[in-house]
Amino acid sequence: MRLLVVNSNTTDSVTARIGAAARAAASTGTVVQAISAPFGLPLIVSRADWLVAGPATLAALAAHRGHYDAAIIACFGDPGLDAAKELLDVPVLGISEAAFHAAAMLGRRFGVVSFTTALRPMFEDCLAHHGLGARCAGFRMGPAFAGDPGLVAEERAELLVELCRQSVEQDGAEAVILAGGPLAGLAPVIAHRVQVPLVDGTAAAVRLAEAMVGLAPPDAPRPARSRTLTGFAPGIADLYRG
């Protein structure tokens, strides 16, 4: 099985973290390729960033089309996810989507923890989009961040542990999501310090993507399309041509 994991930002050190976490979660025999967005921003923080990241994510998916059995959008907020599901003929999952659903199966109510409060509006939009707002116990977010996103997991590890504890003890979370591509791989490191299961969106997406490959019929009919798209990356235009 071949999984393509797309980091929707352009920071290669974050992509390396995500790739390592994805390979650690993958089953024996699954080949993981992790790539950065071909253009865009070094960190996706705001709603505006999210909109910019959608075409960049689609361009990455299109450029490698035919070389993966399932794809994962490894940016919490899932930019471009709905379009990718519509345009591609393989399963595509987002790490937010996977984390929310996995956490909802691990506990009645889950908390969302991340490294900066600037992410909260985008995360709230994504949670509402996936229809699981009623299952969320709340958000616990760190202060403003302007450093290297490839190092934030280590730099704010102690803060994130405390935020996880607050989510459990004060908000009643029965599972906690460590939200954000830059936090990939942190959950197993700090899990012993938190009283409830910690969910890493990258790991959840890998496990679910492997399952979806087996569930989605490879010959399922797709909507016919033949439309001309101008001004976008050639690969995205090819998706529109079918």
Tokens of 190: 């700090």
- Which whole number is the average pLDDT over 126-142? 96
Q: Return the closest-CA partner of residue 24 out of 35, 32, 36.
A: 32
* Residue 50 confidence (pLDDT) above 80: yes
> pLDDT category, 239, cuts 50, 70, 90?
confident
Cα 221 from Cα 224, distance rounded (Å): 9
Contacts of residue 213, Cβ cutoff 8 Å, sequence gap at least 6:
1, 69, 70, 90, 91
The pLDDT tens digits for 53-85 are: 999 999 999 999 999 999 999 999 999 999 999
The pLDDT tens digits for 88-122 are: 989 999 999 999 999 999 999 999 999 999 999 99
Mean pLDDT for the chain overall: 94
The pLDDT tens digits for 205-218 are: 999 999 999 786 66
Cα 218 from Cα 63, distance rounded (Å): 20
> pLDDT category, 229, cuts 50, 70, 90?
confident
> pLDDT category, 43, cuts 50, 70, 90?
very high
